[in-house]
Amino acid sequence: MKTIADLGDLRGRRVLVRSDLNVPLDGETITDDGRIRASLPTITRLADAGARVIVCAHLGRPKGEPDPRFSLAPVAARLGELLGAPVAFATDTVGDSARQSVADLDEGRVAVLENLRFNAGETSKDEGERRAFANALASLADAYVSDGFGVVHRAQASVYDIATRLPAAVGGLVQTEVEVLRRLTSDPTRPYAVVLGGAKVSDKLGVIDNLLATADRLLIGGGMVFTFLRAQGYEVGRSLLEEDQLDVVRGYLERAERDGVEIVLPTDVVAATDFAADADHEVVAADAIPADRMGLDIGPRSGRLFAEKLLDCRTVFWNGPMGAFEMEPFAAGTQSVARALADVTRAGALTVVGGGDSAAAVRQLGFADDDFSHISTGGGASLEYLEGKDLPGLSVFEQQEN
């Protein structure tokens, strides 16, 4: 894949950068600016090279029209603070404000376009509509840099179509993400453990299927674990359960046993009467969840078990929290895994936190980014890469090489 160095002298050139600035907001307050910080190196490199940098990104899921709840204005303001320089903000995507903001840019300066998804063409299933929006974006720039790894699994106007219309390259963030994920899929240093959590088994069917041929151990927590427990014949009370996936999970358990892959499930869970921070809760055996309770975290014995199973690992990938970490009574399991990963990182292991809720969890629980080898910015994209799927935002560059 071509990199920024392949674009040549950028001084004075307008460079459109597709970043991933999809940060969590509480009103207009950014509660985790990790993705903005991750985007800084590429934006700074382009600005230092004298480019006129035009940043485009999405936030949330507006329905193809402006929605003030999803404006990138707070993100542009935070980006300016982090850069230590003014950042212009266009109040539209390809309209008068965007064109004027770009026209006013001096060398080495940065502008941010309004949320791409305010334009229906960004995510349209209609190829003509999507291409028309890509053409409008391309008219603003002389070159394109793809640096939003969190969206490379989407065939969208600013991810795929635009790369066929301008001299194009991947940015440093995408380059690093691909290099790290290749280390997880191509002869990883062993033992190799994968920790999976989150709500649903169905969200991770493909990646589990693929990892059974790659990993030495799978540690399963989060809401998805209750489908595994039920598949073993245990009652799970009112816990999250996907009945339609039980046969699939049984197949995974049988395949793992046959192929020598260790699947580690919790031995105890924190079971509550309701999904609420103040709900009555207790630690119970994983095979004895009361009928009137729901599991909201792995228990303390399980936290220690998971940590022990990670101690000798040389490669670890983690995607999905172990419980409802947003609520203090149900955060200990996720904290145990994060602490174990930090320990093995210091011991020299490659540890990759797979973006999304996992990245938010480690920061919320007080861990620093450098406690881990790599925190991915792409939850869904990371999983699809590990699943072996074609990612349009990467394949478009590989096609150009062939």
**Annotated binding residue 58:** yes
> What are the structure tokens assigned to 184, written together?
């997880």
Strand partners, 14: 52
Phi, psi of 300 (to 5 degrees): -65, -40
**Annotated binding residue 150:** no
Is residue 200 part of the annotated active site? The answer reads yes
**Annotated binding residue 326:** yes
**Annotated binding residue 22:** yes
Inter-residue contact 227 to 249 (CB < 8 Å): yes
**Annotated binding residue 10:** no
Q: How far apart are CA 20 and CA 149, in angstroms?
A: 7
**Annotated binding residue 117:** yes
Inter-residue contact 44 to 55 (CB < 8 Å): no
Write down the catalytic residue from 171, 237, 354, 356: 356
Is residue 363 part of the annotated active site? The answer reads no
Q: How far apart are CA 323 and CA 390, in angstroms?
A: 30
Nearest partner of 375 among 18, 4, 32, 3, judged by Cα: 32
Q: Cα–Cα–Cα angle for 143, 144, 147, nearest 5°?
A: 150
Cβ count within 10 A of residue 69: 10
What single-letter amino acid sits at 335?
A: Q
**Annotated binding residue 79:** no
Residue-by-residue DSSP string for 122-166: TT-S-HHHHHHHHHHHHTT-SEEEE--GGGTTS--TTTTGGGGTS
Inter-residue contact 20 to 35 (CB < 8 Å): yes
**Annotated binding residue 356:** yes
**Annotated binding residue 158:** no
Helix (H, G, I), strand (E, B) or coil at 30: strand
**Annotated binding residue 379:** no
Q: How far, CA to CA in Å, does 390 sit from each of 125, 185, 332, 386?
A: 18, 14, 36, 10
Write down the catalytic residue from 50, 64, 380, 389: 380
Q: How far apart are CA 137 and CA 142, in angstroms?
A: 10
Write down the catalytic residue from 13, 35, 78, 363: 35
Environment class of residue 38 by beta-carbon count within 10 Å: exposed (0-12), middle (13-18) or buried (19+)? Answer: buried
**Annotated binding residue 60:** yes
**Annotated binding residue 154:** yes
> What are the structure tokens assigned to 86, written together?
């003014």
**Annotated binding residue 20:** yes
Write down the catalytic residue from 2, 131, 165, 200: 200
Helix (H, G, I), strand (E, B) or coil at 26: strand
Residue given tokens 């629980």 in the structure block: 365
Is residue 380 part of the annotated active site? The answer reads yes
Inter-residue contact 357 to 198 (CB < 8 Å): yes
Residues assigned a catalytic role: 35, 200, 356, 380
The annotation places the binding site at: 20-22, 35, 58-61, 117, 154, 204, 295, 326, 355-358
The annotation places the binding site for ATP at: 204, 295, 326, 355-358
The annotation places the binding site for (2R)-3-phosphoglycerate at: 35, 117, 154
